Amino acid sequence: MKLPNTPFFSVFKPGYLAFVAFGLFLDLLTKYIIIIKMSADESIPVLGDFFRLSLTFNTGFVFGLFQDNALPSLFATGFAIVFLIFYRWQNSDLGNVWGWNFVMAGAFGNFIDKFFVKIPGSGFRFGFTPEKPGIEFIGVVDFLDFDWPNFLLFTRWPAFNVADSCVSIGIVILLFTMDWKEMDKK
């Protein structure tokens, strides 16, 4: 694999890396607080039934699809991060840099979360297998739970977290700022 000619830190500037690190910190901090304060599958209404905090664990992929695939999900996320880093490095002029920063912060947040067993009410430990099923959990911590019109795909929108929000915000920014005609020329 050939590395891009552009210097790494001219694309991934220290300020951008600090933003990614802050997003990662915020994501992991909120997940930790939720793990400490809530029990598994607990829901706390915040705005009635419209918005509540609900501790769930996603052992699958996007939107909770293909549950009980924690290890394939870990590898897929790791591969996606490596791909995104090299793609961004190779195409440094493509899309708004803040869109890329949001996506990277979210991707790293969920990737790191997959390396820990969560123990609601207590904390977490490094590992991939719960020693006490039903008390310890693997997967990404999701807790932001919004109601969704029943006639659409889900009865409730799948619970998500700060990292998921970062990825979504980043993708929207990129969709609006990428020059799609320029991409076709490459």
Whole-angstrom distance, CA of residue 52 vs CA of residue 135 = 22
Catalytic residue among 27, 113, 142, 145: 142
Catalytic residue among 27, 113, 145, 164: 164
Classify the C-alpha dihedral 78-10-174-110 as positive or negative: positive
Residues 6 or more apart in contact with residue 175 via CB below 8 angstroms: none
Whether residue 142 lies in the annotated active site: yes
Q: Are 132 and 50 in contact (CB under 8 A)?
A: no
Active site residues: 142, 164
